[in-house]
A and B are shown apart, each in its own frame.
Chain A
Amino acid sequence: MLGESRLSDKLATLGAAAAALSFTALLYTQLTPFNGVFGFVVIAWLSFLGFYALLVSFDEDGPAVRDRVAAAVVRSMGLLLIGVLAVIVVYTVARGWKALGHKNFLFEDMKLAGPRDPLTVGGIRHAIIGTLEQIGLALVVTVPLGLGCAVFLNEIRGRFSRFVRTIAEAMTALPSIVAGLFVYAMLIMGLGFGKSGFAASVALGVMMLPIIIRAADVVLRLVPGTLKEASLALGASRWRTAWHVVLPTARSGLTTAVILGTARGVGETSPVLLTAGFTAVTNANPFSGPQVSLPLQTFEAVKSPMPDMIARGFGTAAVLMVLVVVLFVLARLAGGRAPGRLTARQQRRRMRASARDVLRFQGRRR
């Protein structure tokens, strides 16, 4: 059976790993003046591949040896990537732990805390409020507009909608810093708005809109045409078909599209850097005065040379990561299913509803 490993394979892996570790350790401690973890891992890995190939070649032929070595390389690539992700998450949380451990970190702002103040003073309340308001404002505009546009692209076919789709796809290439620069030049320099949470949310919206449109467009395209035709054949109008058939069918995918767009927007620093300004105090009004957000607070904090400020930066980054992970878990819970595919609970609900319908029909007939 493919994919099952035999005892000899496991032994070869273990043996090669042991040989590689000892060889590299010998190289590092006795033979050469090498140092550094990075180099150790690289040399150990390369020598592991060599030893593994040698061991396998004792009882396999050429193609099989290549197969084993390729499998080892591919596996280590995959695990390396996951390892990098784990290191990033663990490192961020570990460095930020000092700041996260204090209760004031989430519930105070930096108004009274200078860079030299200990971690028992000050926090990131202002950045949390700013992120929530900016992303909320951006979503209020982008979700209806983005989903509406995606429906438009799918329901009304023609030269105009093809053109809109091309433009929307082109705009996914817009670097986020350029979106920020656009808003900076238009709203702040051109129209005389101050740097504010509102300007930041416009920049985030410009950046998120094409992402949401594109993702929602893909999901809507997968809604079976037969469903739409059935609805139209029953005499439903176009908008009733869209509202009661197309959108509910694609609900899980659309939710995922919006949440993933949000996750991208929440973490964007560069558009906010240009448009939101920077402040240490809580500003709950996004329409006037500078308003800081989580990524911006992280960015500004780690530029400081003070260790406590850097710890605050990492703490803020950890909070941001938690937010992204929460959004991600929500996206997975809400969606990832193909259009029309129901969860067990939804399926039970549908069955109860149709049982009620049966009773109703029978009652009417009597």
Chain B
Amino acid sequence: MTENIGPADRAYRGVLRATGLTVLVVMGLVGLFLGFRAAQALRVAGWGFLTTEAWEPDAKVFGIATVLTGTLLIAAVAILIAVPMATGTALYISEYTSGWWKKLLITLVDLMAAVPSVVYGLWGFFLLQGHVIGLSRWISDYFGWIPFLAVEGVDPSDPLASETVYTSSTFIAGLVVAMMITPVICSVMREVFAQAPAGEREGAYALGATRWGMIRAVVLPYGRGGMIGGTMLGLGRALGETIAVYLIISPAVEIQPLILQNGANSVSALIALRYGESTPFATSALMAAGLSLFVLTLIVNFVASSFIARSRSGAASDA
């Protein structure tokens, strides 16, 4: 729209453009600075950055193979647990409740998304870990023949074996991260479920479907895009989670594919652990690790928003 605008409006537009530009500069600065500072380390490491397991930047031997695998494993465990829980909860809220209880549940789930990660970390470390060890042990005893569920260094037939090999594992960290991302995924899913068209719901009931039949025939297919999008959004959060993971894991120095075994690592935990190393080059290496994490979450988030945008118009949700 072009029109003759007064000086006040011209100033107003100028101010708005300036705000937009400022935000752009701030955001761009973060990206550029990360890339610029990371370049120094990346030039030294080359492609080996992706395949080296050790992290000794001062010896010029460093790579993110260990931490990236750890991050992905923790996120995978978290997603495997969080998606069924989030789907169940979202269906419960949108299909099985109504009135004040529904409103209260929505508020509680949103509140759960805002609980600080350090609190989740405390809960996971001091309370959950003790109770999960038994489960870890049971799984590894009976399903240890599946490669990544094995635990080394224990004798399954010895009931008094030390339980420390089961602590601080990828599995426990993933479990805690799952609790953090479930509410995020749940609120996206709930919104798309609630938008399933009433006509088709009634149609399903009129054809004699039970409530579960209606959910399977109408609500779930309609909400598929949102379900995938919400899951990806949760995945993005899981990849970047720092403090809860840091509190639980005991850092592994090489790739740890056994998810029930003591020792795990993640990119963000590595940064939190090693940022104090004062040489500029070590910081540059950490920047490179941070950049790779950022690129990963960026891809995941873009995929997520494209799925969510396809499933419904306009309103995007942020936890």
Q: Which among B20, B34, B159 has the greatest number of chain A C-beta atoms within 10 A? A: B20
**Which of A145, A185, A237 meets B6, CB within 8 Å?**
A237
Which chain A residues border B143 with CB–CB below 8 Å? none
CB <8 Å contact, B9 and A145: no
Q: Tell me the bound Cα distance from A35 to B134 in angstroms.
A: 8
Whether A2 contacts B272 in the complex (CB less than 8 A), given A75-B96, A170-B301, A328-B111, comes out as: no
CB <8 Å contact, B179 and A67: no
Shortest CB distance A170–B (Å): 6
The stretch that binds A, out of B43-51, B206-214, B221-229, is B206-214
Instruction: Judge if B118 is at the interface, Cβ distance under 8 Å.
Output: yes
CB <8 Å contact, A149 and B19: yes
Shortest CB distance A118–B (Å): 21
**Which of A148, A174, A317 meets B122, CB within 8 Å?**
A317
Shortest CB distance B177–A (Å): 13
CB <8 Å contact, A238 and B12: yes
Q: What are 22 A-B interface contacts by the 8 Å CB criterion?
A: A2-B211, A63-B210, A67-B213, A71-B96, A81-B183, A91-B123, A95-B126, A144-B19, A145-B23, A164-B24, A173-B297, A175-B240, A177-B293, A186-B29, A214-B316, A215-B318, A239-B9, A269-B242, A270-B243, A314-B122, A321-B119, A328-B111
CB <8 Å contact, B24 and A178: no
The stretch that binds B, out of A15-23, A103-111, A203-211, A348-356, is A203-211
Q: Tell me the bound Cα distance from A156 to B20 in angstroms.
A: 10
* New contact pairs (14) apart from A174-B297, A175-B290, A298-B122, CB-CB < 8 Å: A67-B213, A77-B88, A81-B112, A81-B186, A148-B20, A161-B20, A164-B23, A167-B23, A170-B301, A173-B302, A178-B291, A269-B117, A270-B272, A310-B126
**Taking CB as reference atom, which chain A residue is nearest B215?**
A70
CB <8 Å contact, A170 and B9: no
What are the interface flags for B103-136 relative to A under an 8 Å C-beta threshold, 1 for contact and 0 otherwise?
0010111111011111111110111000110110
CB <8 Å contact, B297 and A267: no
CB <8 Å contact, B114 and A328: yes
Instruction: Judge if B259 is at the interface, Cβ distance under 8 Å.
Output: no
Which chain A residues border B98 with CB–CB below 8 Å? 3
Which chain B residues border A71 with CB–CB below 8 Å? 96, 211-212
Interface residues of A in 179-194 (CB under 8 A from B): 179, 181-182, 184-186, 189
Q: Tell me the bound Cα distance from A167 to B115 in angstroms.
A: 27
Instruction: Judge if B310 is at the interface, Cβ distance under 8 Å.
Output: no
Interface residues of A in 207-250 (CB under 8 A from B): 209-211, 213-215, 218, 221-222, 237-239, 242
CB <8 Å contact, B118 and A317: yes
**Taking CB as reference atom, which chain B residue is nearest A156?**
B16
Interface residues of B in 222-244 (CB under 8 A from A): 236, 239-243
Q: Tell me the bound Cα distance from A186 to B88 in angstroms.
A: 44
Instruction: Judge if B30 is at the interface, Cβ distance under 8 Å.
Output: yes
CB <8 Å contact, B27 and A88: no
Q: Which among A67, A78, A79, A168 has the greatest number of chain B C-beta atoms within 10 A? A: A78
The stretch that binds A, out of B146-154, B250-258, B279-287, is B279-287
**Taking CB as reference atom, which chain B residue is nearest A88?**
B123
CB <8 Å contact, A182 and B118: no
**Taking CB as reference atom, which chain B residue is nearest A79?**
B92
Shortest CB distance A270–B (Å): 4
Chain A positions within 8 Å of B, measured between CB atoms, are: 2-3, 33, 35-39, 42, 63-64, 66-67, 70-71, 73-82, 84-85, 87-88, 91-92, 95, 144-146, 148-149, 151-153, 155-156, 160-161, 163-164, 167-179, 181-182, 184-186, 189, 206, 209-211, 213-215, 218, 221-222, 237-239, 242, 260, 263-264, 266-270, 273-274, 295, 298-299, 302, 310, 313-314, 317, 320-321, 324-325, 327-328, 332
Q: Tell me the bound Cα distance from A179 to B272 in angstroms.
A: 12
Which chain B residues border A3 with CB–CB below 8 Å? 96, 98
**Which of B16, B27, B93, B116 meets A78, CB within 8 Å?**
B93
Number of interface residues of B (CB under 8 A): 103
Chain A interface main SS type: helix
CB <8 Å contact, A178 and B117: no
Interface residues of B in 266-294 (CB under 8 A from A): 268, 271-272, 275, 280, 283, 286-287, 290-291, 293-294
Q: Tell me the bound Cα distance from A74 to B9 in angstroms.
A: 54
Whether A92 contacts B123 in the complex (CB less than 8 A), given A64-B210, A156-B16, comes out as: yes
Which chain B residues border A64 with CB–CB below 8 Å? 210
**Taking CB as reference atom, which chain A residue is nearest B301?**
A173
Whether A172 contacts B19 in the complex (CB less than 8 A), given A177-B290, A325-B111, comes out as: no
Instruction: Judge if B60 is at the interface, Cβ distance under 8 Å.
Output: no
Which chain B residues border A155 with CB–CB below 8 Å? 16
Q: Tell me the bound Cα distance from A73 to B95 in angstroms.
A: 13
Which chain B residues border A63 with CB–CB below 8 Å? 209-210, 212-213
CB <8 Å contact, B315 and A39: no
Q: Which among A92, A172, A185 has the greatest number of chain B C-beta atoms within 10 A? A: A185
